[in-house]
Structure 1
Amino acid sequence: MEQINTKDKLLNAASKLFSTQGYYSTSLSQITKESNAPRGSIYYYFPEGKEQLAREAIKKTGEKIKSYMEESLALKEDAALAIHNHIKTAAIKMESKMLNGNTDNTDISLAAMSSEVWSSNELLRQACEEVYEEWEQVYADKLVSSGYDPEEAKRLGVAIQAWTEGAYVLSLSKKDISPILAVSEQILKLLTKND
């Protein structure tokens, strides 16, 4: 079994708490308690405090999901099928978590964080924006590899990310993955028409 270091314990605990109760409602003492980390370890690893911890949690989640996206999209050569299958597979994983009541998530919710901090914390807003742009670029790169013009691929990457993010929020609200599946089907139709 892999040993998780103190810094990762703090990041995981912060991500979970930020996702369940929000950035502003989460205290450093709650993060320390949730992580079972030694007192004072937050400032050892994150000298700038909670904001730095949140920025690194956002970045960690962004990198993890970006890596998953790249691996998932590489499974199919055709961009339309690859993106469709990626979104559909993500929906099925989400449904499994919802059915099993799995709330032990160590990824921060970018949708929740963005909604909470967009007008009150420019550094965290920018951190969320950077992650979204990286995810958009993954879609754009896949489209370019299937012959799309880079500018068109970039615009489609933004649209695909927006559709999937909106569908993700709707699916959570409804406790039903049908919005994500609908987006997956519509993206497949759109991209197939453009071929």
Structure 2
Amino acid sequence: MVVGGPRNRLITSAIELMCERGVHATGLAELLERSGTARRSIYQHFPGGKSELMEQATRAAGQHIVRQLEGFFARGTPESGVEALIDDWIASLRSTGYARGCPILAAAQAGPDEPAIQAAAAEAFTVWNNQFFEAFVASGTPREAAAVIADITVSTVEGAIVHSRALRSTTPLANARTMLVRLIAASRIDQPEAVAEVDRAM
């Protein structure tokens, strides 16, 4: 059950439905039913209607993952943070029967007629990319390499989520976890043995 006031319930429901169906396949009737709110609540809290609600839901979902990453990186190495993130997605896909994907990816696919929603998705991806970059640099990865690996990490995780949903198997995510951890370890200037390990794995 979605809890909280009408605004919170609408945002939470929008995130859930974006994960399950995407932006355009989510209708107002479904949002109202899932959130348990009256139609007037949407325009009271989101004067721009569904588009504004989806934009704000995208920003809220992005910030949720920002906080997740902060917690993961605070507890260990960049490798363990990436492992924790992917493990969380593996658990989420299994618990929902592969029904829920990434809301930010769904927002990114909203199309050119929803520029504000796409912009919110781009902002979320950029913030995540920066989080990975800062974590990699802090652990000893040269800045140029860290920028590339951060971009690869975001793209690989997002792609593996889609692949896992399509196959109804977490194998793509597990493979992504293995190779990203090796790549991150190999990128440190004080880890030449890790480079050799990645070379052998490739």
TM-score interval for Structure 1 and Structure 2 normalised by the shorter chain = 0.7 to 0.9
Deviations 1:40-78 (A, max 9, x none): 0111110111111011100000000111011101211xx
Contact conserved, 1:11 with 1:57, CA < 8 A, in 2? yes
User: What is the rounded CA distance, in whole Å, between the counterparts of 1:188 and 1:159 in structure 2?
Assistant: 12
Match of 1:173 in 2: 166
Equivalent runs, 1:1-195 vs 2, <5 Å: 4-76=4-76, 82-101=77-96, 109-115=103-109, 117-195=110-188
Aligned-pair identity (%): 20
Residue type at the aligned position of 2:105: A
Gaps of at least 5 residues in structure 1 are 77-81
Deviations 1:124-155 (A, max 9, x none): 11111110011111100101211333343222
**Structure 1 pair 87/32, CA: closer, same or farther in 2 (3 Å)?**
same
User: What is the rounded CA distance, in whole Å, between the counterparts of 2:50 and 2:102 in structure 1?
Assistant: 14
Shift of 1:174: 1.6
Contact conserved, 1:7 with 1:45, CA < 8 A, in 2? yes
Residue type at the aligned position of 1:127: A
TM-score normalised to structure 1 length: 0.84
Contact conserved, 2:7 with 2:45, CA < 8 A, in 1? yes
CA RMSD, 1 decimal: 2.4
Deviations 1:137-188 (A, max 9, x none): 1100101211333343222211111111111111111222221221222122
The 10-residue stretch of structure 1 (184-193 or 46-55) with the greater mean CA deviation from structure 2:
184-193
The 10-residue stretch of structure 1 (175-184 or 157-166) with the greater mean CA deviation from structure 2:
175-184
TM-score normalised to structure 2 length: 0.81
Shift of 1:104: 9.0
Count of matched residue pairs? 187
Residue type at the aligned position of 1:85: S
User: What is the rounded CA distance, in whole Å, between the counterparts of 1:100 and 1:18 in structure 2?
Assistant: 17
Please give the secondary structure, in 1, of the residue aligned with 2:105. helix
